[in-house]
Amino acid sequence: MMTVRRTAFTLAAITWFTAAPAHAQQSVLPADLVALDTPEGEALLVESAARADYFHLAGHHTTQETPSACGIASAVTILNALKVPAPLDDKLGVKTYTHGDFFNTCARTVFTPESVAQGGTTLVQLADLLRCHPVRVDVVHGEETTLDDFRKRLAENLADPTNFIVVNYLRSEVGQEYTGHHSPLGAYNAAKDRVLVMDVARYKYPPTWVRTEALYKAIRTTDLVSGRSRGYLAVAAAEKPPGPSGERSARSPLRILGGIVAAVFVVGFGLGAVVGAWRTRRKLRAYASGS
C-alpha cells in the first residue's frame, strides 16, 4: 500500500513540475535592447568603466509589489544599497527597508500607500518621499539637462558606489511598452553609449542595456500628472532626513480634471455670450431697417 502511495505521489510531483512554467514570463525584448543575462550584455558590463553601482544594487534589487509601486521599489533598493539606518521590519525581525516600512510618519504626509496604488508617483513626489529618510536628493528634470551633461553625470555617478541614480522615464521611448516608469541605473558603457537599467518590474523585464540617447529622450517626456518632464534623482546618504522640500509641482488627476471642466465652461460661456450679442445686434438692425 505504501509503495502505491509513494508511486502516486512521485507521479503527481512529476506532473506538477512538468506542468509548471520553466521560467518567469518576462516580455521579449526588442532587437535594439540587450538583456544583461546574454553574452553581449555580460560583455557590456565587463567592458564598462562606470559599473561600481551595479554590484551594490544587485544584492538589494527589489521587485515592485504592485503595478504602481515602481518608484517605491526603486527607493527601497537604493536605501538598502546605501546602507543608511533602516527601520526594524516586524515580519523579518531585522532592520531593512521594505515597501511597508518605507512609509514612515513623514512619508505619509507626502503621499500615502493608497495614493501610490492608484497612480504611482511623480519625480518630485518620489524625491520628497525619499527625503523622509536619511538621504540627500538632487532632482533633475529631463528638460533641464543636455544629452552631454546626462552622459557626464552617468559616467561620474555610476562609477561611484556612494550615490545612486533613479531614472523616471517613458518606456516606449526605449522600445518597451507605453507606460511611465522608475528604476535605478546600474552601469554606463561609454564606448557603446549604453546604460544599464535595473528594472524593478523584474517579473516583466531583466536588467537591460538601453541606448543613452533613447533614455535621454525618455526622461524628457512630459508626465501628464505633474505637467513637467520626467527626469532622474541622484541620491546619497545624509546624517538625518532633510524632510520634504514643500515643492508641490505634482497635480492630482482630480485637479487636472477640474481644470479641464473649468476651461470648457469658460470657453462655452464666452462663445455663448458672443453668439448672443451677435443675434441681438442682428435683431436690432432688422428692426431699424423695418424688414
# chain residues binding Ca ion, by CB under 5 A: 4
**Interface mask toward Ca ion for 50-89; x: CB under 5 A:** ---x------------------------------------
Nearer to Ca ion, 160 or 247 (CB): 160
Is the Cβ–Cβ distance between 241 and 137 less than 8 Å? no
**Minimal distance in Å, beta carbon 195 to Ca ion?**
12
**Minimal distance in Å, beta carbon 14 to Ca ion?**
47
Contact between 156 and Ca ion (CB under 5 A)?
no
d(CA 219, CA 241): 27
What lies within 8 Å, CB to CB, of 66 at 6+ separation is 116, 117
Is the Cβ–Cβ distance between 87 and 72 less than 8 Å? no
Tell me which stretch binds Ca ion (CB under 5 A): 105-113, 156-164, 233-241, 281-289: 156-164
d(CA 244, CA 249): 13
Candidates 144, 156, 160, 193; binder of Ca ion (CB under 5 A) is: 160
Give the start-end residues of each E strand in 231-270.
231-237
Q: If we measure between CA atoms, which residue out of 91, 53, 64, 3 comes closest to residue 196?
A: 53
Nearer to Ca ion, 149 or 160 (CB): 160
**Minimal distance in Å, beta carbon 174 to Ca ion?**
21
**Minimal distance in Å, beta carbon 133 to Ca ion?**
17
Candidates 62, 163, 189, 221; binder of Ca ion (CB under 5 A) is: 163
Nearer to Ca ion, 97 or 103 (CB): 97
Tell me which stretch binds Ca ion (CB under 5 A): 47-55, 74-82, 145-153, 169-177: 47-55
Q: Which three cell numbers stand for residue 58?
A: 544587485
Q: If we measure between CA atoms, which residue out of 193, 133, 192, 197 comes closest to residue 165?
A: 197
d(CA 108, CA 267): 38
Contact between 98 and Ca ion (CB under 5 A)?
no
C-alpha distances in angstroms, 41 versus 67, 133, 167, 190, 260?
26, 34, 20, 14, 46
Contact between 185 and Ca ion (CB under 5 A)?
no
Candidates 157, 168, 176, 229; binder of Ca ion (CB under 5 A) is: 157
**Minimal distance in Å, beta carbon 171 to Ca ion?**
23
Chain-centre distance for alpha carbon 46: 26
d(CA 214, CA 29): 15
Nearer to Ca ion, 53 or 199 (CB): 53
**Minimal distance in Å, beta carbon 140 to Ca ion?**
14
φ/ψ of 71, rounded to 5, equals: -65, -40
* Beta-sheet strand order (sheet of 34-35): 34-35, 208-211, 194-197, 180-189, 163-170, 231-237, 135-141
Tell me which stretch binds Ca ion (CB under 5 A): 25-33, 88-96, 162-170, 209-217: 162-170
Contact between 177 and Ca ion (CB under 5 A)?
no
Residues at the site binding Ca ion, with contacts judged by CB under 5 A: 53, 157, 160, 163
